[in-house]
Amino acid sequence: MGIGAVSDELLGTFMPIAVYWLYSGLYVALDGVGRLDGYRLHTREEAAAKNVVSKSTVVRGVLVQQAFQVAVSLTLFAVIGDESGTGQKQPPALVIVLQFIVAMVVMDTWQYFMHRYMHINKFLYKHIHSKHHTLVVPYSFGALYNHPLEGLILDTIGGALSFLVSGMTPRTSIFFFSFATVKTVDDHCGLWLPGNILQKLFSNNSAYHDIHHQLYGNKYNFSQPFFVMWDKILGTYMPYSIEQRQGGGVESRPAKLD
């Protein structure tokens, strides 16, 4: 079963990738609007000085991760697929909402502990996770710039677990993974926009994640992409405030430095 001539499984696989580039492309377009510099969490000069990897390299790295993502997704759907070809019936709306919540909690839990372990284990940090942290100043399409192994463990396997544990259908997964993609891109956008509803609804947002990308926040704010519960429960939450930066713009300023 699918939408038009395209199956839900194919849409669930490729729609989040399309959403990734479309939504990050929106932020690239906004980056060219000079008057929005007042909402940047870092200056353009700081981004150029601190980010040691080229944007073309980032694009290639993200495409590699998305290729792994496609392979795992198609394999998963093939294994659990309904051979009758009729597809799964959508449950009531309330059940879908509950499946969304369960999937969000599962994804957050998996990513928190895997992400934190990649910081604790010096070998994994040096050889795997540090690749993502070469973007000290995050930007939208760098959200999934990871070592392929990290992308497989954190994002792809985490997504598969969210799908399986929640019991959502392939059709529901189209919307869940597209939403998760939008959230991940937004958390790396590098802007603090007053009208951004995601930044208002979620404590885990671009300012929160920006703290983690800085040297002083490297051992804090591991949670991603939805909630901050595990950071608060396990003592890795670094509170912050949004302050005006001297010379213009805003910055995410930590409230504590241990």
Local structure of 209: helix, strand or coil? helix
Distance between CA atoms of residues 228 and 241, nearest Å: 15
pLDDT tens for residues 183-196?
Answer: 999 999 999 998 89
Cis, peptide link before residue 225, omega less than 30° from 0 = yes
Question: Domain boundaries in the chain?
Answer: 8-33+40-78+91-254
Distance between CA atoms of residues 228 and 94, nearest Å: 24
Residue 81 has what pLDDT? 75
How many CB atoms are located within 10 Å of the residue 217 CB?
A: 20
How many CB atoms are located within 10 Å of the residue 209 CB?
A: 25
From the list 120, 100, 104, 135, the residue with the least C-alpha distance to 222 is 120
Q: Is the pLDDT of residue 213 over 70?
A: yes
- Read off the pLDDT band of 58 (50, 70, 90): very high
Q: What is the DSSP string of 35-57?
A: GGGGGBSS-HHHHHHH--S-HHH
- Read off the pLDDT band of 2 (50, 70, 90): low
For helices 93-120 and 158-166, angle between their N-to-C axes, nearest 10 degrees: 150
pLDDT tens for residues 23-56?
Answer: 999 999 998 888 889 999 999 999 999 999 999 9
- Read off the pLDDT band of 3 (50, 70, 90): low
Distance between CA atoms of residues 4 and 8, nearest Å: 10
Residues 6 or more apart whose Cβ sits within 8 Å of residue 46: 137
Residue 258 has what pLDDT? 47
